[in-house]
Chains A and B, each alone.
Chain A
Amino acid sequence: MTRTELNEIKEAELAARKRTTIRCCMAAGCTSQGSGELLKNLEAAVSEAGAEDEIEVRGVGCMRLCCQGPLAQADPGGPLYEKLEPSDAKAIIESILSGEAAKLQTGDPKHPFFAKQLSVVLGNSGEIDPERIESYIAADGYQALRHALREMRPEEVVQEIMDSGLRGRGGGGYPTGLKWQTVSKARGDKKYIVCNADEGDPGAFMDRTVLESDPHAILEGMTLAAYAVGADQGYIYVRAEYPLAIERLQKAIKQAKKAGLLGAQIMESPFNFSIDLRIGAGAFVCGEETALMASIEGRRGVPRPRPPFPAESGLWGCPTLINNVESFANIAPIVRNGSQWFAGIGTEKSKGTKVFALAGKISNTGIVEVPMGTPLRTIVEEMGGGAPDGGTVKAVQTGGPSGGCIPADHLDTPVEYESLSALGSIMGSGGMIVMDETTNMVDVARFFMEFCRDESCGKCIPCRTGTVQMHHLLTKIIDGKATARDLALLEELCDMVKHTSLCGLGMTAPNPVLSTLRFFRGEYEELLQPDPYANGRPTAVPTS
């Protein structure tokens, strides 16, 4: 693939555009509600009407408002159809051909849910056909790679990422450029790039959205990273629970290989890079980078102590760069538009945008991408429409089992790494679960503890048995069998597990308990039984 060829594909693709394009969401949320059949029916209706030259039906990635799915929209300027039935296909085509509005539920594109979004990562999501590389190329895909390979030295690419201020989107917020620099400077003939697509936080589906909607963006981001740090082999570690993402990634890799965008001498440069998929097998702990590497090596997904960090000693002992899906998805836009453009978005310490998955007791569930610094309230109340059925938002859970519950009166907090961790939660990968007044916070804490208990790898003692005991204590509290002494024991254990566990899973396992204790302590105390021995000597002897 040469520069000219890349532009030829782009122009051919644009030239082939028809007067009208119907975009039909084919991401997991809508397909689970029947959008696959809808797409087929749309295609059938087009050919039935003999309008093949007029109308293109395009299966696209996530159109974001999952709760109103299946979604479809006709370009240019057509309404956003919601809650479509496969049988609605005909009406849509007829409406396009006749110019008269169809009697279908439509959404308001000016609603804050859409209007307040800013797309960097999801720019192509819901727009391009994720299963066709041409569609990606037509949207300026692989231009960043072309530019980097021709005009930039590897260290300039690293510098660009450093200047952009991008921080890891997987949870911790470590500066991405710094990580790249460490790997690029690490000694070793063989280096690896790993994309962590083991999005395991329950309630998070941002990475899934990106993978299903724009797989080539990940490949391009990884290839840029490989060029920057001097790696020639990459792995995408993706969960087995995401079959559609796997399928699209497989297709994308095949297409990129065929187009000479992966493999040997990419774009006729001396640079070689291959990407292999590794399918996870249902272990949350494999989201932890050392466990993930063990799993890629075909072993039990058990973490090991760091240091040494993967940047120095990773896969098979070689320097390895691990970033998550959303981080990689930011790379091509940064290289394409320049670090200054990216650094202009967001806040001083948190640059760019962040994708959130809105779920739980919220009216508009789905995917949003907002600039860093957007207040939680804007996301939850304006965009998300607050709790459904007249309920009130009680708390927002971010960061999955490693995060915490932020109470409603802190919703004015801006979305930033530092501000969220000051509240005892974390940015995490971007899952945002809204709880209303019917949600019991102790129950939520136990839910997460059960999760961590079941997902603990069993290697280190604090996590393996500490989560068992914490879960047991929470159950005792919920069952009304606990006293203040048990609560004290729980708090002490939270502190111990947090500080002594080997990996992030254990270290953050107590967070949901700690944060609910911080903001909703009353809910715990209400469940406690009086302790007859509270002061050492009994106040009244209990009879058994």
Chain B
Amino acid sequence: MSVRTLTIDDQPVSVEEGASVLDAAKAAGITIPTLCHMDGVYDTGACRLCLVEVEGIPKLLPACSTIAADGWVVRTQTERLQKYRRMTLELLFAERNHVCSACVANGHCELQTMAYSQGMDHVRYDYCYPKWGMDLSHPLFGMDHNRCILCARCVRTCWHIEGAGTKNLAGRGAGAHIITDMNEDWGDSATCTWCGKCVQSCPTGALFQIGATAGEMTREPARLADIITARRKKEWNV
């Protein structure tokens, strides 16, 4: 396996061939903000928070889904990138109804954390206040579309870790939404295995355990990565 050497925020770093810029940054101890990235499932490059500048390349590149190349000079924290990140977050908060104070994930939410860590203290755009419902038909889990950011982590988890294919995206544009089977009530799903992995994968309060009240919904998406890594590398002898 050959090695790629690059510079990230003035810090030299070497990674294995095929590693992403995000991996490389992690190896160098540099945090690049992400929302749609989750260890264990493939990357989609959708949330655009991890965009970085690479010298000599006019386009901004998503760190999660860009393979690190030799000799690259990468910048992850320029003023421009920080501004774009704040704007992205503003757009997200304005899109659906994210009311942190009344959210099951308050205090444990990646979107909320991202907002303050990027210094987004208010939203300049008009809030859209769309009317999205909740699905409380499942005995164990609930889905609140108002808090969904369409990162599709649950979809990728359901397909590629659990392998059930229950969740998917339907519709498009601002009308895109997460569905269960044929847009049925989750409780009626004939394919859901009740494994709850999607709930573990959710960065916000959109998916939660029934019974959790404000601030009670904690999760460990890292467990999902453990499962898939063990499976791929055949670490568990059974």
Contact with A along B71-112 (1 / 0, CB 8 A): 000000000000110011001101100000000000000000
Among A283, A460, A464, the residue within 8 A (CB) of B174 is A464
* Residues on the A chain within 8 Å of B65, using CB: 304-305
Q: Does B62 contact A (CB under 8 A)?
A: yes
Identify the closest chain B residue to A485 (Cβ): B124
- Cβ–Cβ contact B92 & A304, under 8 A: no
- Cβ–Cβ contact B91 & A472, under 8 A: no
Identify the closest chain B residue to A468 (Cβ): B174
Q: Does B133 contact A (CB under 8 A)?
A: no
* Residues on the A chain within 8 Å of B128, using CB: 465, 468
Which stretch, A183-191, A491-499, A516-524, touches the partner chain B? A491-499
The CA-CA distance from A464 to B45 in the complex, in Å, is 14
Which stretch, A52-60, A130-138, A450-458, touches the partner chain B? A450-458
Q: How far is the CB of B156 from chain A (nearest CB, A)?
A: 13
* Residues on the B chain within 8 Å of A7, using CB: none
- Cβ–Cβ contact A502 & B46, under 8 A: yes
Give residues in A with beta carbon < 8 Å to B.
283, 300, 304-305, 307, 453-462, 464-469, 472, 489, 492-493, 496, 499-502
Identify the closest chain A residue to B81 (Cβ): A500
* Residues on the B chain within 8 Å of A496, using CB: 83-84, 87-88
Which stretch, B165-173, B181-189, B209-217, touches the partner chain A? B165-173
Q: Does B44 contact A (CB under 8 A)?
A: yes
Identify the closest chain A residue to B91 (Cβ): A465
- Cβ–Cβ contact B176 & A464, under 8 A: yes
The CA-CA distance from A491 to B15 in the complex, in Å, is 39
The CA-CA distance from A379 to B201 in the complex, in Å, is 56
The CA-CA distance from A508 to B148 in the complex, in Å, is 26
Q: What are 12 A-B contacts with C-beta separation under 8 Å?
A: A304-B44, A305-B45, A307-B67, A460-B46, A460-B48, A461-B91, A462-B91, A466-B91, A493-B87, A499-B60, A500-B60, A502-B62
The CA-CA distance from A307 to B66 in the complex, in Å, is 7
Among B46, B60, B87, B173, the residue within 8 A (CB) of A456 is B173
Compute the total of residue contacts between A and B using a CB distance below 8 Å. 92
* Residues on the B chain within 8 Å of A456, using CB: 172-174
- Cβ–Cβ contact B88 & A461, under 8 A: yes
Q: Does B51 contact A (CB under 8 A)?
A: yes
- Cβ–Cβ contact A469 & B45, under 8 A: no
The CA-CA distance from A464 to B176 in the complex, in Å, is 9
Among A304, A305, A468, A492, the residue within 8 A (CB) of B66 is A305
Q: Does B126 contact A (CB under 8 A)?
A: yes
- Cβ–Cβ contact B174 & A458, under 8 A: yes
Among A307, A455, A458, A500, the residue within 8 A (CB) of B88 is A500
Identify the closest chain A residue to B47 (Cβ): A461
Q: How far is the CB of A465 from chain B (nearest CB, A)?
A: 4
* Residues on the B chain within 8 Å of A467, using CB: 173
Q: How far is the CB of A451 from chain B (nearest CB, A)?
A: 11
Among B124, B172, B174, the residue within 8 A (CB) of A489 is B124
Given A457-B173, A458-B173, A460-B48; 4 other pairs, CB 8 A cutoff: A459-B44, A459-B176, A461-B88, A489-B125
- Cβ–Cβ contact A458 & B45, under 8 A: no
The CA-CA distance from A395 to B67 in the complex, in Å, is 43
- Cβ–Cβ contact B169 & A458, under 8 A: yes
- Cβ–Cβ contact B169 & A500, under 8 A: no
Most buried by A among B66, B67, B92, B126: B126
Among A461, A465, A472, A493, the residue within 8 A (CB) of B46 is A461
- Cβ–Cβ contact B175 & A461, under 8 A: no
- Cβ–Cβ contact B95 & A468, under 8 A: yes
- Cβ–Cβ contact A458 & B48, under 8 A: no
Q: Does B150 contact A (CB under 8 A)?
A: yes
- Cβ–Cβ contact B94 & A469, under 8 A: yes
The CA-CA distance from A53 to B211 in the complex, in Å, is 86
